[in-house]
Structure 1
Amino acid sequence: MQPFQQGRFVMPILAKPMRPALVGIVVFLLAGLVAGGLVYRSEQHRRQLAQSRALAMAADHAQSLQQNLQQALGPAQFEQVVARGYDYVLWRIDPASQQRQIIAQSAKVPLDAVDFELKVPNAKWTLSVAPTTGWADPQGLSLKVALAALFSVLLAYSAKQAGAARVRANELQVDVNAQAVELVALNQRLQSTLDALPDLLFETDMDGRYLAYHSPRSELLGKTLHRVLPVAVADICLAAVHEANAVGYSHGKQIQLALPDGAHWFELSASRKPGLPGDAPTFIVLSRDITERKKAEIKIERLTKLYAALSQCNQAIVRCSDASELFPIICRDAVNFGGMKMAWIGMLDEADQLIKPAASFGSGVEYLEGIEISVDLSGDKGRGPTGTSIREDRPFWCQDFQHDDATAAWHERGERFGWGASASLPLHLKDRVIGAFTLYAGEACAFDEAAQNLLLEMALDISFALDRFADERERKIMQDDLRDSEERYRKAFQTSPDAVNITRLVDGLYVDVNTGFERITGWRHDEVVGKTATELNLWGNPADRMRLVDALQSEGRCNNLEATFVKKNGDIFHGLMSAEKVRFKDVDCILSITRDITEKKLAEAQIQQLAHFDQLTGLPNRSQLHDRFRYALSLAQRHGDQLAIMFLDLDHFKNINDTLGHSVGDQLLVDVSRRLKAALREEDSLSRLGGDEFILLLPGTDEAQASQVATKLLAAVAQPCQIEQNELVSTVSIGIALYPNDGQDFETLSKNADAAMYRVKQASRNDFRFFTQEMQTHSARTLQLVNALRHALPRHEFELHFQPQVALQDGHIVGAEALLRWRHPELGMISPAEFIPIAEDSGQILAIGEWVLRTAVRQLKQWLDAGLRPMVIAVNLSAVQFRHPNLMALVTRILDEAALPPEFLELELTEAAAMDDPPAAIAIMNKLDEHGIRMSIDDFGTGYSSLSYLKKFKVNKLKIDQSFVRDISDDPDDKAIVTAIINLASSLGMHTIAEGVETASQLAFLRLQGCDEVQGYYVSKPLPKDQFEAFVRNSIS
């Protein structure tokens, strides 16, 4: 049996007791050998005791290891082992190479050492010790064996000693076993202590290779720090190891690791382990989790920076005078002092609802270049933090910029600039949101409650500054205005064209006057100052000054007081005075400004005359007549009387103006006014409305009396008058409306009288008519058509019909007249004779005429393109169209649009329209002729054409009115007129066309007289476009 088994000391014990007789025999027969055996056993006993002491010493050292591993591995601890007379070696089995690795050893290698197993974090170490002098002395053993043989007599004593030694050996075995158990318990307590540590403990070599780990992480052993940790973190750990190698220890280095539950901060402590000479150094590294402490430090640091930024912000607010100076400082301080990555201030543009950067600073300011941020919720650009903050007037905290949906449009930019969180705070000016202060932090969740409160305070301070800037601007403006006002007052006092003066309130003593006062009154400054108004006799009516003083005493000021004043030369002038009570050298005074309004008063009188009377005739105008009507109406209502309103219009007055000139026309109007007024009673009122229209008010007049007055007026106007060698005879058309039957107010009565006069014009002229209900119906119909015409074009209610024009020479269709038709959805087909005059009067004829011209030209072009026989399209022009300056451009544009040659278009103009202004008509016709556009005179023979003008007209054709054609077969006069027209046209080189041909006899007469063309129901009635096309094609076939 070996005395040492598996690191434990085992005492050999006999299996059973030896009998005394056998012992005696052995003693006496083998005395020397027994003695030597006893001596040997004695040496074994001594060795066992030495090994027990070694184990005890190793256990003590193990306990030291458990208490403080780093101190236990230090040189001082191992020197104590050597001092106690032992050699040692601390070793382990390398997991990688499975070779024995020396951790520490004495200078002398122990021989026949005892082993003690020691558990350390993630490893098993073995401590081997042996006495420096060895367990026994071989020479002493030989000597003792020899002596035992010589002194056998001492065997009995030796046996006794041997028995005692056996007893002591058994006791020693018990002690050793107890010491071993205690060492194991100590080792377990050390392991429990290490396991209970919240810190990480591991051992590395100089290259950062894991040698041991106190937690079960065996997969780390043999790996380097750079294989396990991020490069930056591994570099910090390795730096701690190198520092420990240089100075023995390292403390305070910090690392951050991303763990499943988030980022954690650790603080590193490293120390170099003692080792045997020549051994590679190893290091114990302690890693303590300081995440909570670090968070608190970061929070304190962040708040400290924000406090600093807030302080800088407030200092800047005190220093700066406007936003353009303040905003860049605020952004810079938020970054430099507040720890932000970037900050910017955006202002809302009310016009386009976009947020425009006003100032920015920090990493990523180029992010703002070309950026489009809106407050409009309908687009993505308006749903971000800044837009939301301004739109909803609230702070917007984005704690995770890269994952917040609100910042989706800017994730790419935010990642490039390293933004983890953002905050947008609304800025106000006078409680109105005008912009936002936006900041970006480098880490997520950067804005806790304390940070938010500081930033909100900063935003409030900025808004306060904006209010202060605005107030300061207003104050400065007010100061400037006050200074300017004072300067203006000084200049106004001296340079005002008005009379400015200061007088004492109590007695009117003049204190000061300006040059305007001198100019207007004629009094010099030295003649006035020191004297009173009474002494100077300036007030035309002294009572006016008393009114001024009373107003100043009660109100403190008086505005626009009109009064008369006396100049130095005695002339009277009208003045408009404004004054207020002031203190001047501690005396109540009057500061007054008086403007000379003499010319204005005269002008007002003239304007009053113009406002109520006609300048040409001196008759009251419509406004004055209306006032007189109200008075007459009140009398009629009080007494139950009637009154009459007459509407008068001179017949053919325009012809006089056009032929004899406006001067003659004006003299005629004055003469007519005199005659009319002479035919009236004193209580009657005659008014000129304008042009050749007059309106007459006859109080207390019934129908019979009104007839008598109208007859007298017709006779008075019809008298010849001599004006500039011209004897003129005029007639007048009169319409009459009576109160109360025809209306209860002036507007209704004058409108109805006008309607009655219009019927006279349509009938015979030089007559009068009373208003009837039929006229009212006609007026209502007219109004209805005026309103309906406004919608006819947009609703496509107009259509064109086409009436063929046939050449009498060969019977071919050579043209077509485009005739306008109006098919109203409710009123049905409306005659052009009814709606064309209404369109002309209401100003709608231009748009309608353009539609007719464009539609007719396009239709002819379509027919020509479809192979229809070439023909001319005739389109009627109204007088308004013909006189319009844009006529030429309109016609050529329409022809160009349709690509129709101008020789296919013929414009028809009535004789009356052509003779309205013959020189102008000649100029227009010449332009049309230059462009190859034909002209014809419609309704020829119904007007008053001058042959001198007719021959100058560029006209291709005369159109004989159907009123002459209708009775041509029976009426000699009509035959003569038609024959004369045909002969006239032939002599002037013009063609003729007769309209309204309905019978064969009419056709035969016209052919006989040499008429060129005819149109009428005898050939065909006006046809819609499709029927007309079919008619033309059938006539060809």
Structure 2
Amino acid sequence: MRPLRHAEIGSQAILDALTAHIALLDAEGVITSVNQAWRDFGDANRRHSPGHEVGTNYLDICDEAEGDDALLARHAAAGIRAVLSGEAPHYSLEYPCHSPAMQRWFVLTVTPIGPEQPAGVVVMHVDISERMRIAEVLSRQQTELRVLFDLMPAMVWFKDTQNTILRINQFAAAAAGRAVCEIEGRSAAEIYPNESDAFYADDLEVIASGRPKLGIVQTLTGEDGREHVLQLDKVPYFDDQRQVIGIAVLARDITEQRRAMQLLRESERRFSDMLGNMHLASVTLDREARITYCNPYLLRLTGWTLAEVLGRDWFETFMPAELGDRKPTFAALLENAPEAWHVENEMYTRTRERRLLRWNNCVLRSETGEVVGVSSIGEDITEQRQAEAAVAQAAERLRQSEGLKAAILQSSLDCIIAIDHEGHIVEFNSAAETTFGYTRAQALGQPMDELIVPLRFRDAHRRGMAHYLATGEGPVLGKRIELDAMRADGSEFPMELTIAPIGETATPMFTGFIRDITQRREAERRLQRLNRVYAVLSGINALTVRVHERSELFRDACRIAVELGQYSVAWIGLVDGRQRQVIPAASAGTSASFLADNYDSFPLREDATGANTAVAQAVRQRRTIVSNELRNDSRVMLAHEPFAAGAHSRIVLPLLVNGEAVGVLVLYAAGAGFFDSEELALLTGLADDIAFAIGHIERGERLAYLARYDELTGLGNQASFLERLQQKIHATGDSEVKTAVFVVDIERFKEINDALGRKTGDEVLRQLAARFGRLDGEGIHRFARISGDRFAIYAPGMGNVEQVGRYVEERMAKVFSPSFHVGGNELHVSIKLGIAIYPDDGSDADEVLRHAEAALKKAKATGNRYLFFAHKMTERVAERLSLEGRLRQALERNEFVLYYQPKINLVNGALTGGEALIRWNDPQTGLVPPGLFIPVLEETGLIFDVGRWAMHKAIEDYLRWLNAGLASVRIAVNVSPLQLRSRSFVEEVRQALSVDPRAAAGLELEITESLVMEDVAHNIAILQAVRDMGVTIAVDDFGTGFSSLSYLSKLPMDTLKIDRMFVNDMTATPQGEALVSTIVNMAHSFQHKVVAEGVETEAQRQILRRLGCDEMQGFLVSRPLPGDTFASSFLLAPSGH
């Protein structure tokens, strides 16, 4: 019995070790034994009734079951009875057994005990919940894989080795114009009859080699007759023995891409050499395939430096023969000169690594249209093709492995995110992890809108989801749209999104294919910016060829920068070396007016206020100064820089000519951070172009200058002198005014050069030129150096030869008389002059100059200091100069005297005053008529001193007569233009009156009308100051100065004198009398007294009296008399003379 007991214990231990729930039933269905799992299951489900214990009838319990499980329980009882009765060898049943805590599945198996008539059965419940869950997952994954397969934005199909299409996604079926069910299981030759042979040839190559074939380009004709260009990758897949059993094909429709590349070929040609920092390779070749440019990206990709590849043969360096001899194709393309073409080929890096690039090529043409080379932009698609190969391999595994879904998702370059009907994420591939910054574990189960949708778009997203769930309508489904997305760090980026619903699911689910288009947007913006700057470069390059003047160059360059470059303000300033500042030369833009208010705000001296501005730094350091945030820049130049126009960025580019900064180009832009490295590189070239144009203009101006000017002295040469002289002669016309031409020769100048060196002689000539420039009232253009030590001068506006002689004596003396100090030496020079007069000595400039040179030659031969071409003129000048000398002596020797002419009242004949007139009592010739010496006094300026003497003498005579008890009448003294223009005139009058308080009552100053009208405002102030001293003012020669009534009313005068010309005309014509009447009435309306000059007849007196004139003066009354005679004749006479 003990061994039997031991066996029972062992058997029970074995049963208890099993995880299945096991019970032994006898032939009646009574439980005779259970294992531990049976007991535990009953306890967990609160089954404590005897029915599940040993000794209870299991069949009765099943028959009596109620509720949802009653039917399954009765089926189980029937199966157990069938086995007990021998009707069935065994029985099994799968059934659910769900509890609030979990959902579980079991399988019930009933096995007989005994070989023939069963003595009982073994009832076993096995938990198959995990197997059922796995089966459900596998079913869902199969559905999801099929959906992903159909929704992939590429065409995918699988074929066997006999060209039969096994599976095809909806994208590919739609491209063929058929349904999926119409294609799967049929030969490709039936579906694509026109292209099948070409397609199948590639298939056979892949099947035979067992290797993928990528990048195949085929043309497919659709059901609508339109041709589509496809790019295909064909990848074989194998059975367990590595035998090829089929091909996976991945195809992309590149028709639109081809068309877009065609449209962009012009843009590629223009910007290929500007793509230095883009992730695109750029190269330009000449007609011999020599490299003329490589951008930094291509150099980094291949490992070469620019210096190493420039000038080398492209094909020998990067595409040797083992990659295929493409150079003949290159030459043929240049001969055919297509505008653009596109190729993909491999190339070697420096380390012999192969890289696959897709090239967009276009020809480069000269200005005449001749093909001069090729510009190419290439995209490194090595990794892309590798990724495409990985996708193709993943597609192959789709049929063979349940893990294909994850491989496709994770190898996709696009983000793939799937959500359920509540918007929770159920799939999140690795591209999405990289793009959004969340791990897959973090994203799964989270609301998608809160994770990746910017806050401002979330309400719209939720409304769209709700609308679809309610109506089944989704306007954005199946379309490519561009939106902003949000990363984990809160930053946003632009994306391209395609949303598609997932079919065959119990509740709606969606898949989103997302592509980050940041780089594409940036490339578009970069191309737009480069296009803008290129337009400015092109415009200014054309400008530099066309323009030959600085002002036009600067003005149009600023205009082009604003109009084509879209800068808010552009201005150019030039360096003033003498003032050590930058002076604006031209500007354009909305706020360029700020320069006018800050003309002197760009100093270059380091000790000056504002010396650390960006302009000053750019000039001093000869480098570009960029400020991409003006409001925070301490180098802001002015308080009024154009912030109002929205400018936040500024660049100051020095204009360098021969290494020196000659100016600056300053540009303002609206956005902050506007001037990046690419734009800076282009603008530096722009500044170089402008600087080159400045240098070119300077060289042209220099050549033009040397053609017309003497380089040593800066004076004009003979050609320019003759041109300016001829212009002056032409402007003079038939005028009686003469122009004098002088040719001056420095005597013994050669001795200075021989004794002291040519440098000393050159310095003497430079000093002479400087003295010419300092002559008062002279223009430097009147002087010229016509040979080594010979100068030519012209002096316009000469009224007579005497004035010419005085010019020689005064002007030339100022230039040549002072000594010259050179290198510690004090030098004196003497000169000879030849003089010719236009029009007396020639009809044009050349003839007059030749005659002046002839006069110089004669002066040197005869030893005269100067000679006129006409000998008589020399004599006249000598006489005139002698007269000037005698007049100067006359002032010193008191040879001038005053004569007085009385003025009387026209009504009663009483003496009202007298006019003091200057006379010269020459000891040699006696009394000299005024007409012979007064003009000389005025020309020489002696009239100033003589006029002052006359005023003092008249006051002296008046006071003498007053002290003698004679009649007190005012004495009128004429004031010359020199006196009135003198700043000290008022003070001189005051000093003359200071001798006696009664002096002012006896003085009247006569001013000619024409003199008053020279500077009305100034003269009014002067005369008012004199009048305030008690001196009366008379306007002489009225009617000859063209004064207006408005000025006449303002003049501080007391008396108006009618010119003798009008008095004489008064008796000749009625119009003359009417004119005098008008003058009298007008003067009286302004409360002025009227005096008529030059009255010589009784008829004139009668008319004047009738017209109401107040006083008269003239030979009818008396000629001018010496002072004593005037006093005895008029001051003692009774009134009514």
TM-based fold match above 0.5: no
- Bigger-Rg structure (1/2): 1
The TM-score, its normalising length taken from structure 2, stands at: 0.27
The TM-score, its normalising length taken from structure 1, stands at: 0.30
